[in-house]
């Protein structure tokens, strides 16, 4: 009798454990997800604390959007054609305004300008221009809007000649970011001989709103020059990316 009873006990035990596991599974999943959420919140808190105590370049302090842009984007070497074109257009749109103003409108710009697809923008007609002029979410300046269309056409020619916008633009720094060592805001230039040269070359190719100051801001933003001041925590991090 021992054998069959033991076997029956094992079967019942196995069945019982299965039921128990089935009953526990949803709980374990919920518990697991809860722990993941707690862990995620914990890392988010650490990230927030790090942001609060880190040393930054002077220009971004005081606005969370500005600080996030500084901490995550500004100066990171950029090689994506679409994003490079986006920065060219947005830097031009900034003329006479603050970069923070542009950052606050960036998502609106992306939607309005077909996610900065230069092929689509190059085909814009007066109909699209009028739609953009009526769009309160962007900078409604006809000269800047027309410039974006003209620049898109010029960029298509550059891509056809050089294979990519990335190859052409990075040739201005021979493919390697320039590592400056500025200790204070007073040392950081608004333009350089390099940006002067870049501006002239871009204008020769038919681009507008690409003055020397705009070009230098573009070089800084896309990581072609590292202009984080040396006491900024991002300086060495950006340098390491090169």
- The catalytic residue positions are 69, 91, 99
Q: Is the dihedral of CA 127, 133, 135, 137 positive or negative?
A: positive
Yes or no: say if 158 and 207 are a contact pair by the CB < 8 Å rule. Answer: no
- Return the biggest CA–CA distance within the chain: 99
């Amino acid at each position: 009798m021992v054998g069959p009873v033991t076997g029956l006990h094992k079967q019942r035990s196995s069945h019982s454990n299965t039921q128990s596991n089935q009953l526990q599974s949803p709980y374990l999943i919920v518990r697991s997800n809860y722990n993941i959420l707690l862990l995620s919140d914990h890392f988010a808190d650490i990230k927030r604390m790090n942001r609060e105590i880190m040393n930054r370049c002077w220009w971004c302090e005081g606005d969370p959007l500005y600080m996030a842009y500084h901490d995550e984007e500004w100066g990171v070497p950029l090689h994506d054609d679409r994003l490079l074109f986006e920065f060219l257009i947005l830097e031009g749109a900034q003329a006479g305004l603050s970069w923070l103003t542009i950052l606050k409108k960036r998502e609106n710009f992306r939607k309005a300008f077909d996610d900065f697809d230069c092929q689509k923008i190059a085909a814009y007609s007066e109909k699209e221009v009028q739609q953009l002029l009526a769009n309160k979410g962007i900078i409604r300046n006809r000269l800047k809007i027309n410039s974006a269309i003209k620049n898109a056409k010029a960029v298509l020619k550059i891509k056809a000649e050089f294979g990519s916008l990335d190859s052409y633009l990075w040739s201005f720094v021979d493919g390697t970011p320039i590592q400056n060592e500025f200790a204070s805001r007073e040392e950081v230039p608004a333009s350089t001989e390099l940006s002067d040269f870049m501006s002239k070359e871009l204008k020769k190719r038919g681009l507008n709103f690409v003055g020397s100051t705009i070009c230098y801001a573009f070089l800084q933003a896309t990581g072609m020059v590292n202009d984080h001041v040396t006491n900024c925590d991002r300086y060495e991090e950006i340098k390491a990316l090169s």
